[in-house]
Amino acid sequence: MSNLTVALEGKELEEYIAKRFGKKEHENYMNQIRLNREKQMQTTTLGIVDTLTRFRFVDEFQKIRPDNFSYEGLHALFDYFDNLSHDIRQPIEFDPIAICCDFREYESFKQFQEEYPDIEDVEDLERHTTVIPIEDSEHGFIIQQF
């Protein structure tokens, strides 16, 4: 006898429950899923959350820390944090001081190598940390400090 486990998710799981247990159990299951999602949202978002647009992110950042990142670099950071927030399905706190401690912008790889001569190329750097390219810059990028 073999043990076989099949993982069902989403619509497949709903259909299985509806067929196996009937309409009432299916409704109970869907209500439980909804309650779990609501509970998760209540417990993971603490405090007041304010959604920042790209331009407000750049503006607020420049008011607090005007000399840490270029205008283009701030746009790259916004894209990075926006994508990260969607990937992890969590809001990300806007904390310019922490961002400045955790990330650094470089105009070129040559400038970066002045501080980290042991890193041979961009691929080597990407094995060590997050590298955020700056689109409107010929060679610029931002790294997460390591």
- pTM summary value: 0.66
Cα-to-chain-centroid distance, residue 128:
18
Q: What separation in angstroms does the CA of 105 have from each of 99, 122, 132, 133?
A: 11, 14, 9, 10
Of the listed ranges 5-9, 106-110, 142-146, the least confidently predicted one is 5-9
| Residue 22 parent element (H or E) | none
Alpha helix ranges (H) inside the chain: 10-21, 23-44, 54-64, 71-88, 96-102, 109-115, 122-128
Residues ≥6 apart with Cβ < 8 Å to 137: 70, 72, 73, 107
What mean pLDDT do residues 9-13 have? 69
pLDDT tens-digit map of 22-79: 777 767 777 777 777 767 666 555 677 788 999 999 999 999 999 999 999 999 999 9
Residue range 99-111: mean pLDDT, rounded: 95
In this structure, are residues 130 and 143 in contact, taking their beta carbons and an 8 Å threshold? yes
